[in-house]
Amino acid sequence: MAEDLYKILGVEKGASAEALRAAYRTLAKKHHPDLNPGNKAAEERFKKVASAYELLSDAEKRQQYDAGEIDESGAMKGPPPGYRAHAEAPHGARYAYSADDLSGFEDIFSNLFGERGGRGGAAPGRDAHYALQAGFLEAVNGAVKRLTLPDGQTLDVKIPAGTVSGDVLRLRGKGLAGGDALIEIAVAPHAFFTRDGQNIELVLPVSVREAVVGAKISVPTPAGMVAMNVKAGADTGTKMRLKGKGVPAHGKLPAGDLIVTLQVHVGKPDAALAEFLRAHAAVGDFNPRAGMFEP
């Protein structure tokens, strides 16, 4: 509250009336609320600057202020309510730039007005565009998803097997006034499956024992768990192909494969295993880094 009025305007105490006015103009240009819509700090600053100038530009009051007869609060009532309070209110549309408050925005909100037809109602038979996110497996296997439209109605969308991101589904007659609904699908990534065309890739962890000795293990596929044999002597990077367990056949495309890449996990420290390997190290001389250049 008690900020020095000269400081607010950034001038010396003995500044001339011209200097005061120049300082006020400079600050007003910077902080005027109508040039800084929505900026509360600028608005506060402008109020202070305006009321400081109001007091100091009055020679009599300035003298009283300099003599300590009145304090800053004498100037703190602030300028009258600004234009902005009106312009931001709904009735501010009176001075709307365009005669029709909506025209000129329809391009920005085209997806909104395109669907709802804006104020004038939809042109007959227009397509409506929507976006829908599908889970990875929903897109691979196919699914029915419910889409909630902006007007609260729902649309059941059948996502066919093998859908990929960017595919657009057309629902005849579900758009505006008999037009079509065009639904662009975005497919979410999966925690461990990735897709390569009709094939699906999976990095599958196996234990040291499963890799060395071989095992029959369960493998997740998009269609559920299946059994798979890991041959003895498998290693990290060993690839195995599960025929027909990728993306199901759809359209003219045959079913893809699930391509499994093994990744050996050592697991918790095991004293007996460590002891065995220490003894074994004397015999084995396998160096997985052979062929790498010395640094």
Partner 1 sequence: MMTLEALLDQIEGVVAEDLRRWIAARYVRPGGEPEAWVFGEMDVARVRLIVELRDVMEISEPALPTVLSLLDQVYDLRRRMRRLNEGFSLLPAELRGELARFMME
Q: Which positions touch partner 1 (CB under 8 A)? A: 24-25, 28-29, 32, 34-35, 37-38, 80-88, 90-98, 101, 104-105, 109, 148, 150
Smallest separation, CB 193 to partner 1 (Å): 23
- Distance (Å, whole) CA 120 – CA 125: 14
Tell me the HSE value of 265 on the side-chain side, using a 13 A CA sphere. 8
**Residue among 24 and 136 whose Cβ is closer to partner 1:** 24
CA angle 230, 192, 234 (to 5 degrees): 20
**Residue among 32 and 245 whose Cβ is closer to partner 1:** 32
Smallest separation, CB 160 to partner 1 (Å): 24
208 touches 280 (CB < 8 A): no
Smallest separation, CB 54 to partner 1 (Å): 11
Name which of 99, 171, 184, 69 is nearest 133 in CA terms. Answer: 184
Name which of 171, 168, 163 is nearest 248 in CA terms. Answer: 163
Smallest separation, CB 146 to partner 1 (Å): 12
Question: Which amino acid is residue 18, in one-letter code?
Answer: E
- Kindly report the backbone phi and psi dihedral angles of residue 14, in degrees, each rounded to the nearest multiple of 5, phi listed first: -90, 15
**Residue among 69 and 88 whose Cβ is closer to partner 1:** 88
- Distance (Å, whole) CA 102 – CA 123: 17
Smallest separation, CB 251 to partner 1 (Å): 31
Smallest separation, CB 158 to partner 1 (Å): 21
**Residue among 16 and 98 whose Cβ is closer to partner 1:** 98
Question: Which amino acid is residue 6, in one-letter code?
Answer: Y
**Residue among 152 and 251 whose Cβ is closer to partner 1:** 152
Name which of 140, 251, 138, 250 is nearest 200 in CA terms. Answer: 140
**Residue among 150 and 197 whose Cβ is closer to partner 1:** 150
CA distances from 120 to 96, 102, 124, 155, 173 (A): 19, 11, 12, 24, 20
Smallest separation, CB 84 to partner 1 (Å): 8
160 touches 253 (CB < 8 A): no
Give the pair of three-digit tokens for residue 258. Answer: 């699930």
**Residue among 85 and 213 whose Cβ is closer to partner 1:** 85
- Distance (Å, whole) CA 241 – CA 109: 49
**Residue among 54 and 210 whose Cβ is closer to partner 1:** 54
Smallest separation, CB 95 to partner 1 (Å): 6
Other C-beta atoms lying within 10 Å of the C-beta of residue 134: 21
